[in-house]
Structure 1
Amino acid sequence: MLTPNSQVIPNLEVLGLDAHDFKLTFLHCDLAESFGKLKKLYLGNFDDESVASLSGFLQRLNCLESLSFCGNSFKELFPYEQGHTWKQDLRGDTFLQNLQTLQVDRCHCLTILMPIAMAFKNLTTLDSWSCDGLVNVLACSAAKTLVNLTTMKIRDCKLVTEVIANEGDREEAIVFGQLKVLELYRLSCLTFFCSTNYSFKFPCLEQVIVSQCPKLKIFSQGVLSTPLLKRVQLSREDDPAYFWKEDLNSTIKQMFTDMVGFCSFEHLTLSQFPNLKEKLWNGQAPIDLFWNLKSLEVDNFSDMSSAIPSNVLCGFKNLEMLDVRSCESLEQVFDLTKVVKKFWA
C-alpha cells in the first residue's frame, strides 16, 4: 500500500496504475506531490467517472516525461468541458510541461485524441494504436501547438478517416517544424491526412510509412511542402519496398494506380478494388504483388464465372485463408488446367 510516508516514493521513476486494482480515493490525496522523480506513468482501465479524479493527479506530476493510456473507456483523453475545473490548466504552461511521449492503446471510446490546443510544447512522440472508435487524431489548433513533435504513429485504428480533423473551409497554415517520422499503418478507413484546404509544411520530414491504407486518395488538399522527403516506405519490414512519384501527393495517388500499394497487404477484400480483380484475372498484375497476403476475401462478384487462374494462385505464397462468397455464377474456385498441363508436359 503506497502512502505519503513510503520511503521508496521520492525516488520512484516508473509507475503503473490500473483502475481495477485500487480505490479512486488514492488519486484524491496529496500522494502525487511525493512523486518528485516520476518520469513514466502507465494508466489502465479508467472510465469517464475516474478520469476527472485522474486529472488532479496528473497536474502534480511536473517531471513526467512519458504517459501511456491502455484499455481505458473514457470518451476524452484530457477532459476539457466547462464542468471540469482543469480546462484552463490544459491550455497553460504548467500541465505536463515536460511530457515528451504520449502513447494511447486500445482506448476504443475516444473519437479524437486532442480536440483542443494543449500545452505539450515538449512532446516529441505521439503514438496511437488499436483505438477502434478513433475518427480523427488532432484538431487544427492542437496540431499547431506540437512544435517539437518528431515522431507520429497512427496504427490499427479502424475508423480513422483523417489525421487532422476537418473543421470547415477557413484557411489555416500548419507547420510540423520538427517532425521526421510519420507512420500510417493499417488504417482501413483513412482517406486523407487532411481533407480541408489547409497548407502543411514539413521541413524535417524524412520518413513516411504508408502501409495497408486502401482508401487513402491523396495526402492533403492544400499546399504541401516536404523538401527532404524523397520516398514513401510501403511496409514496416526490415527490408521494405519504397515508392516515389514527384511529390507526396502524387506518390499517394499513384500507389494503387500502379498497384505497388498492395505489396504490404496481409488481408484483402477484393470487392473493394474491382479494377484490381480485372487486372489479376487478365494477368496484368505483377506475380509477386501479393506475397505478403495472408487472407483473401473474394466476394460480391455476381458476374464472375471463371475460377481463380493458376498464375494468380502462384503469387499467393503465404496465403492462409481464402473466403469465397456471393459469387453466384462461379462454377469452380480454382482453375488448375494450366498447372496440370504443365505437370504432364
Structure 2
Amino acid sequence: MERCEKLIEIVGKEDGMDHGTTFMFELPVLSFLYLENMPLLSCFYPRKHHLECPSLKVLFVICCPNLKLFTSDFDDSQKGVIEASISLIQQPLFSVEKVFPKLTGLALKEENIKLMRYAHFPQDLLCKLNYLVIYFEDNNEKGTLPFDFFHKVPNLELLFVHQCFGLKEIFPSQKLQIHDTVFVRLKQLYLDQLNELEWIGLEHPWVQPYCEKLEILKLNKCPQVEKLATSAMSFINLQKLSVGKCKRMEYLFTFATLKSLVKLETLTINKCESIKEIAKNEDEDEDDCDEMVFGRLRSIKLNCLPRLVRFYSGNATLHCSYLKKVIVAKCPKMETFSEGVIKVSMFLGIKTSKDSSDLTFHGNLNATIRQLFHNQVGIHHPN
C-alpha cells in the first residue's frame, strides 16, 4: 500500500468490543509487506493485539512517520524507554526478535537504526538480510551514512539510500574505523532522491575494494552531484550503470575509469541537463592506450541530454562487439559518438525515440550519429 493520505489504521475497531481483550492477527502466508507515504498511519489495529507473520521475508515501511515499527525484548532498559511513550494506539508493528532473523529485505529510518545500535542484539540477528533501504525523515546533522551499523548486516548485497535529508556524502575521504565485515558482499548501490548529496566518494583509496565488487550502480535525482568520481577508479565488475535527473552532472567519469568497464552490459543516462560528454578525456596516459574492449556491452540509452556533444572525446579504438541497438533521443547537440574508430560488428542502428521501433543506420555508429545531427540542424536551420 502507498500514498493513502487519510489512512490511520489498517484494521478498524468495531463498536462494542472489549477494550481489555488482546486480539490475535495471524497472516501465515504474507511474505512481503510494503507501506509508503502514509502520513497519518499510526497502527495496524487501535487496540492491544499481536500480529504474527511467520512467513514475512521483506518489510519495507517508508515515510510513515506516525507508525511505530519495532519494539525489542533484547534490551530491557531500552525497551522501557521506547514503550513509555507509546500508547496502545501506537503499539509497534513487530517485535524485533520475531521478525528480524527471517528477513531478507528491510527498510530502516534513523530512529530504527538508533534502536539497533544501542540494544544488545545477537550478532547473527540480521544474518539473512541482503537488501537494505535506508532513509532519514529528518535532517541528518552528521551528513554521512551510519557506518557503525553496517557490520550488523554482514551479508548485505544491495544498499538503497533513499531521501536521506542532510546527507552530503556517501563515503568520506578519511578512512573510517569500520568492522571488516562491512560491505564485503555489496554488489548493488542505489542512490535515490538525495537533494543535498554533493559527492559519492567512490574514488577514495579505502573505498576502491567496494567499487571493484559493484555490479549495479544507479543514481536518480541527485541534483548536486557533478560526477560519479573526481579521479580515476576501477569498476571491473560493473554490469549496469544508470544515471537519471542529476541536473549538475557534467560527465560521468574519466578515460581511465572508462577503460575499467570491461563487464558493462547496459548504460542508461536520462534527463541530465548539464552533461556534455559521458567520459571526459583528461588523463595523460591516454596516449598509451590504442584501444578499449567492451566485450559485454549490449545497450546504450541516452535520453533528454540537451548539452551532450559526444560520448567520448578520445581517439582510442572502441570495440563493442555485442552492441546492437543504441537509443539517442532528444540529444540535439550530439555530433558524434567518439573521435576514434568504433568497431561494432553487430550494430543494427539507432532509435531516436524510446517508444519507436524504427532504426536509423548509416554505415556505422559514428556516421549514423553525424547524420542524425545534420538532419537535426537541417530541420532547425533550413536553407
Report the CA distance between 1:51 and its aligned residue: 4.4
Gaps of 5+ in 2: 1-111
What CA RMSD, in Å, does the superposition of the two structures yield over aligned residues? 2.9
Report the CA distance between 1:196 and its aligned residue: 2.8
**Residues paired across the two proteins, number:** 256
Deviation sequence 1:251-304 (CA, Å, 0-9, x none): 001114345xxxxxxxxxxxxx5x42565xx9xxxxxxxxxxxxxxxxxxxxxx
* Corresponding position of 2:337: 219
Write the distance in 2 (CA, Å) between the matches of 1:255 and 1:50.
39
User: Paired residue for 2:146, among 27, 41, 64?
Assistant: 27
Could you tell me whether the CA contact under 8 Å between 1:114 and 1:142 is conserved in 2? no
* Corresponding position of 1:142: 257
Q: Secondary structure at the match of 1:216?
A: coil
Deviation sequence 1:131-174 (CA, Å, 0-9, x none): 00001112111111121111111110001100110216752433
Write the distance in 2 (CA, Å) between the matches of 1:138 and 1:50.
17
Q: Secondary structure at the match of 1:104?
A: strand
Q: Secondary structure at the match of 1:10?
A: coil
* Corresponding position of 1:229: 347
Write the distance in 1 (CA, Å) between the matches of 2:319 and 2:293.
5
Stretch deviating more after TM superposition (203-212 or 123-132): 203-212
Q: Secondary structure at the match of 2:206?
A: helix
Could you tell me whether the CA contact under 8 Å between 1:204 and 1:228 is conserved in 2? yes
Report the CA distance between 1:79 and its aligned residue: 5.4
Write the distance in 2 (CA, Å) between the matches of 1:117 and 1:134.
17
* Corresponding position of 1:71: 193
- Check 1:220–1:20 CA distance in 2 against 1; reply closer, same or farther (3 A cut): same
Could you tell me whether the CA contact under 8 Å between 1:67 and 1:99 is conserved in 2? yes
Write the distance in 1 (CA, Å) between the matches of 2:380 and 2:375.
14
Write the distance in 2 (CA, Å) between the matches of 1:235 and 1:54.
44
> Counterpart of 1:123 in structure 2: which amino acid?
L
* Corresponding position of 1:61: 183
User: Paired residue for 2:242, among 127, 142, 148?
Assistant: 127
* Corresponding position of 2:323: 205
| Structure 1 segment 232-243 matched on structure 2, within 5 A | 232-237=350-355, 239-243=356-360
Write the distance in 2 (CA, Å) between the matches of 1:50 and 1:150.
25
| Structure 1 segment 16-55 matched on structure 2, within 5 A | 16-21=133-138, 24=142, 27-29=146-148, 31-44=149-162, 45=164, 47-48=167-168, 51-52=171-172
Report the CA distance between 1:96 and its aligned residue: 4.6
Could you tell me whether the CA contact under 8 Å between 1:28 and 1:53 is conserved in 2? no
Q: TM-score, normalised by structure 1?
A: 0.66
Identity among equivalent pairs (%): 23
> Counterpart of 1:121 in structure 2: which amino acid?
I
- Check 1:241–1:75 CA distance in 2 against 1; reply closer, same or farther (3 A cut): same
Could you tell me whether the CA contact under 8 Å between 1:181 and 1:207 is conserved in 2? yes
Write the distance in 2 (CA, Å) between the matches of 1:9 and 1:132.
37
* Corresponding position of 1:11: 128
Write the distance in 1 (CA, Å) between the matches of 2:134 and 2:330.
34
Stretch deviating more after TM superposition (242-251 or 16-25): 16-25
Report the CA distance between 1:120 and its aligned residue: 2.9
Deviation sequence 1:38-84 (CA, Å, 0-9, x none): 2221113353367429975798111122110123333322254xxxx
- Check 1:249–1:49 CA distance in 2 against 1; reply closer, same or farther (3 A cut): closer
| Structure 1 segment 77-156 matched on structure 2, within 5 A | 77-78=200-201, 80=203, 87-91=204-208, 94-156=209-271
Write the distance in 2 (CA, Å) between the matches of 1:79 and 1:103.
13
Could you tell me whether the CA contact under 8 Å between 1:209 and 1:232 is conserved in 2? yes
Gaps of 5+ in 1: 81-86, 260-272, 283-345
> Counterpart of 2:296 in structure 1: which amino acid?
Q
Q: Secondary structure at the match of 2:295?
A: coil
> Counterpart of 1:156 in structure 2: which amino acid?
K
Could you tell me whether the CA contact under 8 Å between 2:232 and 2:253 is conserved in 1? no
| Structure 1 segment 253-292 matched on structure 2, within 5 A | 253-258=370-375, 275-277=378-380, 279=382
Report the CA distance between 1:212 and its aligned residue: 0.7
Could you tell me whether the CA contact under 8 Å between 1:168 and 1:196 is conserved in 2? no
Q: Secondary structure at the match of 1:167?
A: coil
Deviation sequence 1:183-219 (CA, Å, 0-9, x none): 1111000011112323322122122111110000111
Write the distance in 1 (CA, Å) between the matches of 2:179 and 2:169.
15
Report the CA distance between 1:228 and its aligned residue: 1.3
Write the distance in 2 (CA, Å) between the matches of 1:26 and 1:90.
14
